[in-house]
Amino acid sequence: MQLKKNPEADLTKNSSLYFAIGLAFVLFISWQAIEWKTYDKTGYGYQALDVDEDDDEEVPITEQIKTPPPPPPPPPAPEVIEVVEDEEEVEETVIESTETNQEEIVEVDDIEVEDDFDDVDVPFAVIEDVPIYPGCERVPKSERRNCFQDQINKHIRKNFRYPEIAQEMGIQGRVYVNFVISKDGSITNVRMRGPDKNLEKEAARIISKLPSMTPGKQRGRPVRVPFSIPITFRLQ
């Protein structure tokens, strides 16, 4: 015998719809449970402040003791003036006038002021009349300074000789030479300062060959004139 099912009694007909509705209901219940909030109905523990009470502290009244001011100092005793009789005779000093009249004028001879240049060195840069190198006598006075320096340089180039020992050792440098042109035109007080003694000796030999010159003059009188010049030794 074959069983016949009633189509209206099919339980799986709307199962998907029921599942969706149930799922939505469960989600709604879960969301409400998560968002549920509770509050304390007992109220907040505020404490009332009593502003009517005065917290003024009673300050005891103290009596201020007034100290009397110190007594004023006693007045100074009056000075006793003793009158002494003037028994000593005082000689009066007579001040005579220092003014003179025309009859008392004393004639004073002219005083000669001599400039002492015996021990004074006048630098080459400021001397009035520079020393004259032989051959610069006919040069104008304003150009004698340049002529002197040119002749010194020519003399150094003419007599220059590089020391052999300095060449072998490879010594080179600059030697600073200072000398004084005395009042008779001779060369004195030659001093050298350089990197090697052999170069200093050669510089002294060159300066010793300088000729005698016409001395420099200050206010028309011969004076000593210091002069300095560098000599360069360079290997080629």
Q: Which pLDDT tens digit goes with each residue over 91-131?
A: 655 555 555 555 554 454 554 545 555 568 899 889 999 99
Q: What is the pLDDT of residue 148?
A: 93
User: In this structure, are residues 228 and 176 in contact, taking their beta carbons and an 8 Å threshold?
Assistant: yes
What is the predicted pLDDT for the residue at 159? 92
Q: What is the pLDDT of residue 35?
A: 84
Count the neighbouring beta carbons within 10 Å of the beta carbon of residue 227. Answer: 20
**C-alpha R_g of the chain:** 63
Q: Are 141 and 230 in contact (CB under 8 A)?
A: no
DSSP, res 126: T
Q: CB of 187 within 8 A of CB of 211?
A: no
Proportion of the chain above pLDDT 90, given as a percent: 33
Q: Can you read off the two tokens belonging to residue 165? A: 């020992």
Mean confidence (pLDDT) of the chain: 77
Q: What CATH code is assigned to 141-233?
A: 3.30.1150
Instruction: Return the axis-axis angle of helices 197-208 and 144-159, rounded to nearest 10°.
Output: 120
Return all residues near 108 (Cβ < 8 A) that are at least 6 apart. Answer: none
| pLDDT reported for residue 142 | 87
Region of 215 (left: φ > 0; alpha: ψ -120 to 50; beta: rest) is beta
Q: For residue 164, what are its two tokens?
A: 């052999």
Which residue did the predictor score with more confidence, 75 or 213?
213
pLDDT in tens, 44-93: 444 444 445 555 566 666 666 677 788 888 777 666 666 556 555 656 55
pLDDT at 48: 44
Q: List 132's β-bridge partners, or say none.
A: 214
Model confidence at 147, in pLDDT bands (50, 70, 90)?
A: very high
pLDDT (tens digit per residue) in 4-18: 556 666 666 677 888
User: What is the predicted pLDDT for the residue at 120?
Assistant: 80
Domain regions of the chain by residue span: 141-233
- The pTM of the full predicted model, rounded to 2 decimals, is 0.49
Query: How far lies 220's CA from each of 4, 114, 144, in Å?
Result: 165, 12, 16
